[in-house]
Homo-oligomer: A and B are copies of this chain.
Amino acid sequence: MPDPQSPLRAGEVAVDLPPRTDAEIYFIGTIRTPWKTRQECPKRGTPDGPICTIVFDERWRDGLTGLAKHKRVQVLYWMHEARRDLVLQTPFQRPTSGTFALRSPVRPNPIASSMVELVAVDGLNVQVRGLDCLDGTPLVDLKPEHGAHQT
Number of copies: 2
Q: Which of A109, A138, A140, A141 counts the most chain B CB atoms within 10 A? A: A109
7 contacts between A and B (CB under 8 A): A21-B25, A23-B27, A23-B138, A28-B109, A60-B99, A64-B98, A100-B141
Binding site for B on A (CB under 8 A): 13, 15-18, 21-28, 43-44, 56-57, 59-67, 69-70, 74, 76, 78, 80, 84, 87-88, 91, 94, 96-104, 107-109, 111, 113, 138, 140-144, 146, 149-151
Residues of chain B within 8 A of A15, CB atoms compared: 59-60, 62
Residues of chain B within 8 A of A17, CB atoms compared: 26
Residues of chain B within 8 A of A24, CB atoms compared: 21, 23-25
Whether the pair B44, A138 counts as a contact (CB closer than 8 A) is no
Cα separation A26 to B20 with both chains bound (whole Å): 8
Residues of chain B within 8 A of A69, CB atoms compared: 101
Tell me how far the C-beta of A31 lies from the nearest C-beta in chain B, rounded to whole angstroms: 14
Whether the pair A28, B102 counts as a contact (CB closer than 8 A) is no
Whether the pair A104, B21 counts as a contact (CB closer than 8 A) is no
Whether the pair A98, B66 counts as a contact (CB closer than 8 A) is yes
Residue of B nearest to A28 (CB): B108
Whether the pair B60, A141 counts as a contact (CB closer than 8 A) is no
Instruction: Tell which of B63, B74, B99, B138 touches A88, judged by Cβ atoms closer than 8 Å.
Output: B63
Cα separation A33 to B109 with both chains bound (whole Å): 22
